[in-house]
Structure 1
Amino acid sequence: MTNSKFDAFVQQQNSNEDNSVFDPKKQLDEWFEYLDLLYKNITSFMKTYLDKNQAEISYDNITLTEDFSGSYEIRRMLLKIGRSTITFTPIGTMLIGAKGRVNVQGPSGGARLILMNENVTTASQLITVRVSKPGEAPPALPKAKDINWAWKIMPFAPQRDFIDLTEESFLEMILTVAKS
């Protein structure tokens, strides 16, 4: 390696081209916004039943602790339908392959809601192999700011396809976790 290559490397590392300095507060603010959007979608999906007093939504606060931010308070949603209560418990943000996760638990089982790249439909798409020739930089990965994040249902094994969160898929998920 020549000094000029190293000089270029040092200059690149010290340039202001990439202002992607990690900001924990910004990360948490985004997480809260996406979680709020999820809760609004759930409320919309349940509107008919809420309006008829056949279902009820309430919230309580829980404390999460993550390495990047320490402890923080976050809302957990509780959906009550008759004798069944389904909880939507945030697990965290900045997960491998996802920007956030919410566990769904009902009397008959559980499910997971994952905030992930809207273009990902299977777990295998989360694996990326990059190949380059010696002396060449590997192809760049997409930056998080270029990803459109969407809530998806992540079934338990053996199925590993992610299901787009729609009113129909949501109601089907509720039937799975709440039906006795």
Structure 2
Amino acid sequence: MLITSHQNRAAKASGQQVNWQARRVKWLETLVTLFETIQSELIFAGVEPDHIQDTRHTITEESLGTYDAPGLMVQIGTGRVTFTPIGSVVIGGYGRVDVDGPRGSVKLIAVDADPYHDPADKTPLHQRTWTWQAYPDKARNGYVLDQEGLAKVLEQVLGNA
């Protein structure tokens, strides 16, 4: 309740009312798109389709309730990489996915695609365009999760093997 009340208070102060149901729908749609893109990139790079498995995760968030979210598990050589959704209500973004492998972890954070949007713009979060940034373990500066960014993420969690 504490987090929700602070978020609602902040939304009211900015003139917005948070539609948590729409936010959850947007989050789940964004996850599906993310994992479809990752699967396509991995297959294009030569990963066998049967080495990629969809996973399901039950998440409970104060604002969004309990829901099932998609994830991904990939076998690349002898290394296993998991993409696990953590939640949509996170500080500094619209959602987080943890990527874990034998050599490390990376956090993927969904952020506003327009980092310089006008503060007077009252477009609800669920109607904004989101993009993904990758943050290596304990790093403050991230990078865009595009084709090159995905390769970097995999190198960080699998090593240079």
TMscore range, shorter length: 0.7 to 0.9
Aligned residues: 143
Structure 1 stretches of 4+ with a deviation exceeding 6 A read none
Would you say the 8 A contact 2:43–2:49 is kept in 1?
Answer: no
Amino acid paired to 1:150:
T
Amino acid at match of 2:133: K
The alignment partner of 1:46 has SS state of: helix
TM-score for both structures, normalised by structure 2:
0.76
AA of the residue aligned to 2:156? T
2:67 aligned to 50, 68, 72, which one? 72
Tell me which residue corresponds to 1:100: 95
Specify every segment of 5 or more residues in structure 2 that has no aligned partner in the other structure, as ranges.
Answer: 1-11
1:160 aligns with 2:140: yes
- What is residue 20 of structure 2 aligned with on the other side? 24
- The aligned residue for residue 151 of structure 2 is 171
Please tell me whether the aligned partners of residues 55 and 82 of structure 1 are also in contact (alpha carbons under 8 angstroms): no
Alignment partner for residue 150 of structure 1, among 114, 121, 131?
131
Q: Which amino acid aligns with 1:87?
A: T
RMSD: 2.5
Indicate the residue corresponding to 2:3 in structure 1: none
Q: Trace 1:3-82 onto structure 2 (pairs within 5 A).
A: 21-48=17-44, 49-50=46-47, 53=48, 56-82=51-77
**Superposed CA offset, 1:79-127 (max 9, x none):** 111221100000100212201000000011100111002244xxxx9xx
Q: Could you tell me which amino acid in structure 2 is paired with residue 27 of structure 1?
A: R
The structure with the largest alpha-carbon Rg is 1
Letter in 1 for 2:89: M
Instruction: Kindly indicate whether the alpha-carbon contact (under 8 Å) linking 1:113 and 1:152 is maintained by their aligned counterparts in 2.
Output: yes
**Displacement after TM superposition at 1:173 (Å):** 1.2
Once residues 81 and 144 of structure 1 are traced to their aligned partners in structure 2, the CA distance between those partners, rounded to angstroms, is 39
Contact 2:18 2:124 in 1 (8 A): no
2:100 & 2:34 partners in 1: Cα distance?
A: 16
What is the TM-score with the length of structure 1 in the denominator? 0.69
How far is 1:60 from its partner?
1.9
SS of the residue corresponding to residue 95 of structure 1 reads coil
Flag structure 1 segments of 5+ consecutive residues without an equivalent: 1-12, 126-138
